[in-house]
Amino acid sequence: MAKQAFDKFKNTRSNAAKKEDFRQAKRTIKKEIAEGMARTKARKAAEAAKAREIRAAGGVPTKPARTAPATKPTGSAKPTVGAKPRPGVPQMPLNKYLAHGGVASRREAAEIIKQGTVKVNGAVITEPGFKVSESDDVRLNNKKITPSADLVYILLNKPKDYITTSSDPEGRKTVIDLVRKATDARIYPVGRLDRNTTGVLLLTNDGELAQKLAHPAYEVKKVYEVRLDKELTKKDFDGIMAGVTLEDGPITPDALAYADAKDKSVIGIEIHSGKNRIVRRLFEHMGYSVKNLDRVMYAGLTKKNVDRGHWRFLAEKEVRLLKYLNTSFTRKKA
């Protein structure tokens, strides 16, 4: 494909402006890191002071025993709510705990919890916000879940015929099969690409980042190359850019361009919607059939130097900028 394929997606700002943006982003990141370290230091100091008070009073600063439920919990049992805070014991919501354990994103983990398949210290919990600590016994379908301290970020150039899920009950190939040798951590894909869609896919065990990237409010940008069964007419091109109303609501691309000047059946489209199969449904609504769909960019990440079916770890700088991208966006939006 010619180098001019995606000229309409390129940033036309000057190099000086870009450098200044980068310097500002770098300063902001350093400031956030310093503030985070200060908060962590203050929290640890407070926990240590509390522990000293407990020892001075003759006590032992350990987790108090949880009161056993009055009746044997069942799948339909009500969640144990209103648990008292435990001084000096860091806690987090149950759905976040599962996300850090590599089960799924925080949103997906919340749905799993509501199904009544998660137990905390033997009691069924159906409230995603229920507070737990690392010392609690958390089990999903009787399998113990342990949060991971080592966060992993993998970029995969997904090929066709692979399901974007951690496992498949029908025994079909999944994207996890392609990165199985990369890490022992329980990673999962962020968002979905359907079976026949190829391109950039992020896999991680960072539940917090996955939650941000998958949430519609963050409007994460994606760029796709679409090959249609026929050339896209100027009338339909303008119609798509003006906005199209599908069965689940209106959709307007952020940008649209002919990716190949000699072949108007190859289209580049930038979009931020996270709706299911949105690109395919958009063109099908206009009377076209999508022969090939390839995601060439996701949240600033591209598949450059990553062959189809191969993967690589994200660089530390990429992870920082990925997190900063979302923080900056939400602050600007607010």
Is 268 in a helix, a strand, or coil? strand
Q: Among the options 194, 229, 238, 248, which is catalytic?
A: 194
| 265 contact partners, CB below 8 Å, separation of at least 6 | 227, 228, 229, 230, 231, 232
CA distances from 318 to 114, 153, 304, 313, 324 (A): 34, 10, 14, 10, 10
The H-or-E segment that residue 274 falls in is: none
DSSP single-letter state for residue 315: P
- What is the rounded distance in angstroms from the CA atom of residue 285 to the CA atom of residue 272? 18
* Active site annotation includes 194: yes
Query: Is 139:119 a contact under the CB 8 Å cutoff?
Result: yes
Helix ranges (DSSP H) in the chain? 15-56, 94-100, 106-114, 175-178, 207-214, 234-242, 278-285, 316-333
C-alpha distances out from residue 140 to 156, 208, 211, 290, Å: 28, 19, 20, 39
Catalytic site positions? 194
